[in-house]
Amino acid sequence: MSDISLEVKIGSLELKNPILTASGTFGYGLESRDFFDVSQLGGIITKSLSLKPRKGNPPQRIVETPSGMLNAIGLANIGVENFIKEKLPELIKLNTKIIVNIAASTIEEYVECVEILDKEKIDAFEINVSCPNVKEGGLEFGRDVRKVGEITSKVVAKTSKPVIIKLTPNVTSISDFARISKEEGATAVSAVNTFVGMSIDIFTRRPKLSHNTGGLSGPAIRPLALAKVFEVVQNVDIPVIGIGGIISPEDALEFLIVGAKAVQIGTHNFVDPKGPIKIIEGLKSYLKKMNYNNINDLIGTLELNK
């Protein structure tokens, strides 16, 4: 299977294969080195970083649900400067692409984070717009088309590195947000972030999460996420990175066939730390079985029913 190519491109970002790790599920990219050679991955997307360290929400912050999990971590992280000092020196030694996820409470904070990190040896940015806008009463940036456009244009102006906008699914028309991202200069979009969910303790009659609601991820959301990726691919000419409940090569192939250029493995990392590597091997086996030499010949080959 050595003659089978899994290489894909997201704009100028060249990946050895289409398997990335989703932000928030793979730490800062170093924690899994004892489980497998992470250089085999197409790329690592770091835990969300904000300008200053954040403690996040108090426990309970994670709740298991049927075929998935709810989380309300609250973007806990060590901050940009600590990341540069403590994590990045080891991270850049890995033979894979490093994509830094940025989270912020204001548009100015997004811009400042990118300005600081743009000087470092990272390969791309993923901008998490599913953050509360503190200047406008906590409304999520990602639910306002104008704000997504403004964030995109201002971030793109501060870097020559690829910029990926991570879209929330909690909107009426996700393709509108992909479209404005493209118009304002984004290299690609990743779809989707988590769906809003809730779980109740029937004995206390209180939400199980301290934050009341949280983000639902895992296999439970895969059909929903796939439909969102399909919507974006059908309506906007911009590379899409698929996310949502991928736990097997077959799951990844669904997103690729629909038209995603790459995929991210998220919640499955908590279940099987070697899961991403198994998916890479599964993709190779499938391509060999189906007589494909290059994964790009498979991407976007969906044939719709009439």
Q: Give the residue numbers annotated as catalytic, written as ranges.
A: 131
Q: d(Cα 162, Cα 159) in Å, to the nearest integer?
A: 8
User: Which of 157, 160, 166, 173 is closest to 188 using CA atoms?
Assistant: 166
Q: d(Cα 73, Cα 58) in Å, to the nearest integer?
A: 8
| Cis omega (within 30 of 0) for bond into 234 | no
Scanning the structure block, which residue is given the tokens 């080195």?
33
* Biggest CA pair distance of the chain: 58
User: Which of 108, 117, 227, 96 is closest to 163 using CA atoms?
Assistant: 117
User: Which of 177, 194, 175, 173 is closest to 244 using CA atoms?
Assistant: 194
Q: What's the angle, vertex CA 171, arms to CA 170 and CA 175, rounded to 5?
A: 120
CA distances to 24, 124, 147 from 52, in Å: 17, 20, 22
Helix (H, G, I), strand (E, B) or coil at 15: strand
Q: Give first-to-last CA distance, the chain, whole Å.
A: 36
Beta-sheet strands, E only, within 135-182: 163-167
Contact (CB, 8 A) for 113 and 80: yes
Contact (CB, 8 A) for 246 and 279: yes
Q: d(Cα 124, Cα 219) in Å, to the nearest integer?
A: 27
